[in-house]
Structure 1
Amino acid sequence: MRAWAKKALLPIGTVMLALVVGAASAQTSDLVSKAAFRVCADPANLPMSDKDGNGFENKLAQMFAAKLELPLEYTWYPMATGFIRNSLRANKCDVVIGYAQGHEMVLNTNHYFTSAYTLIVPKDGPLADVEALNDERLQGTKLGIIAGSPPATHMARNRLLPRAKAYNLVVDRRHESPAVDMLNDLRDGEIDGALLWGPIGGPLVKADYPEFRVIPLLKETLPPRLHFRITMGVRQGEKVWARKLNSLIRRNQGEINAILEEAGVPLMNDMGTGLLGEPN
């Protein structure tokens, strides 16, 4: 929340401001359901979420509902333009299970995992031990990239874009799946490698593409960064609710990690410099 109240306000003004802010906060907190754990999610966004409950975010939601001793309820909306406005802000739900840290559209909880963009290549191919996009072995190759995603800048810097194949960034996953299309193209030899966000690429490879290797891009030293901390998102002003979720995250981090690891999500340390549990 922006600190817009000035210290120079008269005492009575300060008191009135506190009363107004306190009343608004109380009103906002009343929006959180006490009868159910209400989650906003995409109905066709595997490996993260789907209507049948098969995604790892579905499993995290089930775990949190159980810890809160509340039934789990969903509001389904495609993860595209208008998602937050038409779900969380419309008070149709109280939490988004996965949201990047620092986004102003929501109030972030503490992060519960860190992951990174990955390079996905055949296990027995010539690129199987490439760990950075400045590796000379990538010169002349054709890489798949989600248009506008952070690795594109690194590809441009390393002269990898001219031969790249771009896939759409914002889509309705009920009708189009760029990540799956990219991995199918890799399997068919249409591209030599795939650049995907780890929590998408890792689980897809684990489930359906055992011939591929998922390589987290941890050695890029120039911007933009390729690792991100993932939080839960709640409505702005819902600080009491956020603290309650923070407490659950802290007390159940081991169980959270187990769900993510089982799904195939590559987990990093908080600084994004190494895999979770390994030396930096």
Structure 2
Amino acid sequence: MAATSNYALITGGTVGIGYELANLFAQNGYHLILVARDQTELDQRAAEFRQKHGVEVVTLAKDLFQRQAPFEVYDEVKAKGLPVEVLVNNAGQGQYGEFVDTDINRELDIVQLNIGAYITLTKLYLKEMVARNSGKILMVSSIGGELPGPLQAVYHATKAFVSTFTEALQNEVKDTNITITKLLPGPTETDFFRKADMENAKMIKEGDLADAAKVAQDGYDALMAGKLEIISGFKNKAMVAASKVMPDSLVAEAMHQQAKPSDEGK
């Protein structure tokens, strides 16, 4: 069990992988700071985790599409005097479709959520962690960050940013007691594809989606073991390994075929 004064701050902590991660941290004695947009969902999760695990749960209803929101999260947590031992950057969204057709304003929001919020929260909390020489950060990226993603061009690019950003920070803190771990799931059974209008894609309709609880367990275990990276799932490990030796154009074409609507070409 973790010390009772330890808090884990989790963005997107009410659904999907974020919810499963919150459950694991609470199960292991961490108090929770959950950040999401929907206060009703936050209240439901807070009641659930308090009852199941007997931990404190602080909720912050914030829209991380807004540039100022991560700063507000940090200021409000600081004002409450809560020590954040673990930061989980998890909230993220995508958009499906040909880049020439997709909504630029939604894409700029996605860049702010998937990149801007990660940068801001990491900067603010890493400074504290370096000052006390302890802390853990879990960066929820995606195997999409290792692969070009036709029909999800912006999402994959944001995750490529998260991957190289994380690798650079890991090097910067390598001589400290701080752990920064990159979690790379593949397609997972969450609300992500509905929000991205991607439910009809071949990889979703015909693919084998991973269990969010299993992905979260992989990420939690890797973080606690001090690992730099975990690719969740054997198939995803194989796909990333294959992509390293194939020309990018072939990888992009293979991904394009997987991302197409499942009824195309039949």
* TM-score computed with the length of structure 2 as normaliser: 0.32
**Structure of greater relative contact order (alpha carbons < 8 Å, 6+ residues apart):** 1
More strand by share: 1
Which has the larger share of helix? 2
Q: What is the TM-score normalised by the length of structure 1?
A: 0.30
